Structure formats: C-alpha cells, structure tokens
C-alpha cells in the first residue's frame, strides 16, 4: 500500500524537494501534444512526467483545471494519476482541491480523492475544525495538507489577523507576543500560527498532516517552521510567476536537517515553452529549480 509520508521522506533523502503542479489548462497546451482536445492533456502530462520524474518529490494536479472540462476533464485527471503511478511509481501524488465540509459530505470527498482519483494526499481547508476533518485524518496512509498561510495577495485579510490564546504548551518562541504584561501566559498571535500549532500538535496523531505556506510570505514561513519543528512537511507554492524568492523560501522553510519542504512550481515549469520543445523546456526548468534548492542548502550547511 502506498504511504504518502514514507514516499515523501524517501524523496527528501534523495535530496529532492521540487513538486510539479500539473495544472494543465487545455488552452495553453502546445498543439504538438495532439490535435484532439481530449487526448491532448494526457499526451502533454505524459511527456511532462517522463521528462521530470527523476527530479521531483511530488506531483500536484489541481482539480479545477480538469473539472472545468466536465466528465472528459475528470477522466483526464484519473488517467493522469494512473500515468504517474505507471511512469513514476515512487513519486507521491497530491490532489489540490482544498476540500472541507461536515459529516457525510467529507466522507464523500475522501472517497473522491483517494478511492476515485487515487491520490496519495489532498489539500484541505481548516475552517471547519478537526472534528469535521476526521474522515481525512483517519486515513493514516494518506497525506492531509492543511491550508495555513497561502500565497495569494489577499491572504492577510483573515490569516494574519491576531487571535488571543493562552500559552497551554504553545510553541511560541519568536512567533507570538505577550498581550498583557500582567498575564504573561496570554498572547495575541496571527491566526495562521494557531492553525500551524493545532495541526502539528493536536491533529497529527497519525503522523499524516502537512501545511500549506506560500513562498510569497517568507517571514510567515519561518514562523511556521519554528512552530512545527523538524520533519513536518510544508507544501510551498508561489515560486516563479507569483514572485516567491527561492533563497528566502529555502532558508525559511527547511528544517534543521535541510528537509521538510515540498516546493511547488506549476505554470513556470509545464508551460515554460509553447513550442514543440515543451517537455524538454519543462525538464530544464525543473532542473534549474532543483539545482537552485540544492545549492542554497549546500550554502546553508557551509555556513
């Protein structure tokens, strides 16, 4: 049975931290992939996987780019997962769909992600709380990747709002601040930090949780790493077109062992070329990102 955390840590041990987002928008796929729209996404994804599988720690298809094409697109997603398992059987698959609800609805989402689409991990929204997300958390072999501090510009509207907490074992060094000097056990901290603490310290009973923190917020990323500690996976989108700085991201996101990161790039890799060399260009960009991460990690060790 495939176990997401075991597969991911095996890739970290190989020094691989790049996640390729297979956000395969049909309109952007080069005509070379094929003239038939239904087959074009599969031909495109197959070529990307074949060119990059030896460099990555994960693949991350976003369901929106498949579901927007109806039944045909969803079948392409199923086929893409199958292709990854066939061509890159040691690479875990993250389904990016940010699911969350209550009761039987979540049971349905669990079956959708893991049993229908065959993903190894899923992104989820923490807003409903741990109780509602139990159907995901109970799947011990699957990864549950919780939104924490996202990469979009509007993330600060709620995620950076301060909430009041009691110390209660909170790993607050360097990330929280005292609310009242007369009550030193009370703090005001950003909401995303509370999410990080709860997920890492309370939700992670099966050791299958991870967090999403954007590369566009390196200070917040460093704060989250401080809260969750070593070995805890952080999925980091926002490198490339969103403007995330790679050196700041790696230095903020790595743990003390130089691991713990899933650094995602989507369009910057898969659409690096709109010509006939699209697959080769995707490999070049993946190699560039992989080499950049490696060099930064080596520099950190040298210091």
For residues 13-42, give the mean pLDDT.
85
Q: Give the residue with greater pLDDT, 204 vs 103.
A: 204
Report the alpha-carbon distance of residue 266 to residue 180 in Å, rounded: 44
For residues 295-301, give the mean pLDDT.
86
pLDDT of residue 166: 76
Residues composing the chain: 303
Q: Give the residue with greater pLDDT, 44 vs 178.
A: 44
pLDDT of residue 243: 76
Q: How many CB atoms lie within 10 A of CB 219?
A: 11
Q: How far apart are the first and last CA of the chain?
A: 40
Task: Using alpha carbons, list the distances in angstroms from residue 202 to 199, 225, 248, 253.
Answer: 6, 16, 29, 21
Give the sign of the dihedral formed by CA 114, CA 120, CA 122, CA 128: positive
Among 28, 98, 248, 288, the active-site one is: 98
Active site residue 98: yes
218: Cβ contacts below 8 Å, ≥ 6 apart: 244, 245, 248, 249, 251, 252
For residues 215-236, give the mean pLDDT.
96
Work out the pLDDT band at 176, boundaries 50, 70, 90. low
Of the given ranges (54-68, 73-87, 186-200, 225-239), which has the lowest mean pLDDT?
Answer: 186-200
Strands (E), the chain: 18-20, 56-59, 94-99, 121-124, 143-149, 162-166, 177-180, 183-190, 209-213, 234-236, 261-265
Work out the pLDDT band at 242, boundaries 50, 70, 90. confident
267: Cβ contacts below 8 Å, ≥ 6 apart: 21, 23, 28, 240, 241
For residues 143-162, give the mean pLDDT.
95
pLDDT of residue 182: 64
- Is the per-residue pLDDT at 232 higher than 70? yes
Report the alpha-carbon distance of residue 43 to residue 34 in Å, rounded: 7
For residues 281-288, give the mean pLDDT.
98
Report the alpha-carbon distance of residue 266 to residue 211 in Å, rounded: 18
Of the given ranges (178-187, 232-241, 266-275), which has the lowest mean pLDDT?
Answer: 178-187
User: Which percentage of the chain shows pLDDT scores above 70?
Assistant: 91
> The pTM is what?
0.94
Q: At what angle do helices 191-198 and 218-228 cross, to 10 degrees?
A: 30
pLDDT of residue 177: 64
Q: How many CB atoms lie within 10 A of CB 273?
A: 15
Task: Using alpha carbons, list the distances in angstroms from residue 116 to 81, 131, 140, 218.
Answer: 10, 24, 17, 36
């Amino acid at each position: 049975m495939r176990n997401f955390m075991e597969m991911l840590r095996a890739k970290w041990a190989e020094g691989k931290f790049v996640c390729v987002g297979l956000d395969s928008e049909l309109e952007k796929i080069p005509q070379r992939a094929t003239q038939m729209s239904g087959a074009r996404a599969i031909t495109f994804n197959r070529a990307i996987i074949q060119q990059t599988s030896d460099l990555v720690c994960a693949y991350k298809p976003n369901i929106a780019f498949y579901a927007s094409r109806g039944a045909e697109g969803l079948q392409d997603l199923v086929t893409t997962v199958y292709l990854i398992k066939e061509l890159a059987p040691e690479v875990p698959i993250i389904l990016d769909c940010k699911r969350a609800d209550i009761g039987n609805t979540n049971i349905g989402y669990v079956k959708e992600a893991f049993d229908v689409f065959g993903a190894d991990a899923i992104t989820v929204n923490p807003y409903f709380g741990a109780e509602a997300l139990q159907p995901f958390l109970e799947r011990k072999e699957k990864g549950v990747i919780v939104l924490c501090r996202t990469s979009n510009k509007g993330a600060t509207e709620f995620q950076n709002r301060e909430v009041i907490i009691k110390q209660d074992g909170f790993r607050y060094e360097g990330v929280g601040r005292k609310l009242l000097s007369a009550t030193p056990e009370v703090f005001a901290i950003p909401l995303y930090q509370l999410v990080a603490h709860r997920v890492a310290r309370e939700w992670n009973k099966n050791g299958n949780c991870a967090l999403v923190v954007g590369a566009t917020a390196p200070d917040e990323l460093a704060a989250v790493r401080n809260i969750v500690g070593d070995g805890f996976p952080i999925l980091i989108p926002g490198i490339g077109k969103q403007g995330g700085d790679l050196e700041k991201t790696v230095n903020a996101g790595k743990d003390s062992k130089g691991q713990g990161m899933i650094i995602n790039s989507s369009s910057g890799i898969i659409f690096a070329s709109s010509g006939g060399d699209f697959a080769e260009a995707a490999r070049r960009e993946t190699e560039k990102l992989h080499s950049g991460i490696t060099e930064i990690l080596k520099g950190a060790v040298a210091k």
